A = this chain, B = another copy of it.
Amino acid sequence: MGGQDREHDAGASYRYQAMTRELIARIEAGHYAEGERLPSVRALMRAHQVSMTTASRVLVELESQGYAFSRERSGFFVQPRPPRTGTTPTTPTPTRTARPAVVSMNALVASLFRAQAGEGQLSLGAAELAAELLPTRALTQAMIKVARASGAEGILYGPAGGEPALRHQIARWMGTRGVVVAPEEVWITEGESGAMGAALRALTRPGDLVAVESPTYFGLLRWIEALGLQAVEIATDPRLGVDVEELERVLETLPVAVIAVNPVFHNPFGGTVPPERMQALIRLAARHRVPVIEDDVYGALSFDSHGVAPLRAHDEAGGVLYCSSFSKTVAPGYRVGWCLPGRWAERLALFPFGGAVLPQRALAVFLAGRAHARHLEGLRALFAGQASRIRALVLEAFPEGTRISDPRGGYVFWVEGPASFDALGFHARARAHGIGIAPGPLFSPTGRFANAFRLSVGRPLTPGVEEAIRTLGRLARGGD
């Protein structure tokens, strides 16, 4: 890229810092009262003649520094509490040298991944619900009921697309998330992995380029590798999502076949992208005629009781292929996911598909009653309630300069150590203490994030877990 782009960005970065400082000064001077509404993104754009990205970043930075809080669809308000400082991860610098990378998880990273499956560990690595948080009784009853009632139908191949009763329940559930679909538009897959694999196979050919968030979920990277695709990393902000301006530059210069994002309760950040940024992403992708794969596997786990609508809910033109599953919320071992293939349904039908019949039927029974809603409510309350305690614990225990993301749903946290922090070495030391974490380089096709890791706390914050976090902090400070 030429010097013009660099200047442009240096200018944007300067303006963003200047605007942030100015607003902080005004808040501290009492120009805006506690709880008062701050200028909207549009107002800032007009007043300062800046892009939407710059304006949004200013507000989000205020929130991240503890000067503001946001309310869905209402904007940003002055935060009454004393400001917290330096606790959210830095936004990765947009890669002005964005280049396609052949994805190949090297032996080290692969071994790290396998190591997480090890037993006898307190796993804060795998994003997985603890056994005590599963709706075991209700699901077991449902499974026994459907096994008895199904007879041979539970043992024969199921219908293409999945069990009709489950497709019906998922269509209903999607409605509560703001997505209106008919049951026949829902396709059952073998977990989230099956959904992502099917989506990628439908939308790409080997050698194609996939624009991915940086950091992104390593399961996506494994599929990209398996299908012989290439990845280009787009800088992604913990609160604003993928950098739409950088993405635009990439779309203009590289033949991107598909964009893969996780806008709601992002893995590994836990943040969610504001609706206007989702709309900007959809418009950009539509303008370049590039389809978007949305991973919404944590979408049901909002800390906020009214929930967050996925990207797909904003997609009027049919540019988003939506993927989700029950693996992070209800029943990982049932291996049931789904996708909404939209206009790509024909392509998806070409490839092997579907999951076991009885787990689908048991889930349909579970979803038909009120148990699902009650179960999700319990998880949300638990995770919302303990998130700030987990953040505080990490910031207390870890060395100076450590940052941690501020999730709005789900149960993963992204922790960034100081620049010198070595996440791979830290992972090995943590393992020796019986604690699993997911080191940062797993989340990048080019091994970025060497000083970061994901912490997954899909379990109640018991004294044992608190102790494990303190142990991690001690190890990070160089202790044994």
Contacts and interface: CB of A to CB of B under 8 A. Distances in A.
Interface of A: 105, 110, 114, 117, 119, 126, 128-129, 131-132, 134, 136, 139-140, 143-144, 147-148, 151-160, 190, 193-194, 197, 201, 205-207, 219, 222-223, 225-228, 327, 331-336, 349-352, 354-359
Contacts of A139: 155
**Among A126, A155, A219: residue with most chain B CB under 10 A:** A155
Contacts of A153: 131, 333
A14 B344 CA distance: 53
Contact of A156 (B194, B332, B358): B332
**Among A219, A225, A227, A333: residue with most chain B CB under 10 A:** A333
Nearest to A191: B352
B228 A207 contact: yes
Contacts of A134: 152, 155-156
Contacts of A333: 153-158, 356-358
A227 B228 contact: yes
Given A201-B226, A226-B350, A334-B358, 6 more contacts: A110-B349, A114-B160, A140-B147, A156-B333, A355-B355, A359-B359
A311 to B, nearest CB: 23
A228 B225 contact: no
A263 to B, nearest CB: 22
14 contacts: A110-B349, A128-B156, A131-B153, A131-B156, A132-B152, A136-B151, A143-B358, A156-B332, A194-B352, A206-B206, A222-B352, A227-B228, A334-B357, A358-B358
A174 B131 CA distance: 34
A332 B193 contact: no
Given A144-B147, A228-B228, A193 B117 contact: no
Contacts of A228: 205-207, 227-228
A293 B139 CA distance: 38
A126 to B, nearest CB: 8
Contacts of A156: 128-129, 131, 134, 332-333
A359 B146 CA distance: 13
Nearest to A136: B152
A144 B144 CA distance: 5
A351 B190 contact: no
A350 B136 contact: no
Contacts of A157: 126, 128, 327, 332-333
B356 A226 contact: no
A147 B143 contact: yes
A155 B355 contact: no
Contact of A351 (B140, B147, B222, B354): B222
Contacts of A126: 157
A206 B144 CA distance: 43
Given A131-B156, A335-B190, A197 B356 contact: no
A134 B219 CA distance: 36
Contacts of A349: 110, 114
A27 B193 CA distance: 61
A352 B197 contact: yes
B154 A140 contact: yes
Contacts of A131: 151-153, 155-156
Nearest to A331: B155
Contacts of A144: 144, 147-148
Nearest to A330: B155
The 4 A-B pairs with the shortest beta carbon distances in the complex, nearest first, are A206-B228, A206-B206, A333-B357, A131-B152
Contacts of A193: 352
Contacts of A197: 352
B332 A159 contact: no
A323 to B, nearest CB: 13
Nearest to A351: B226
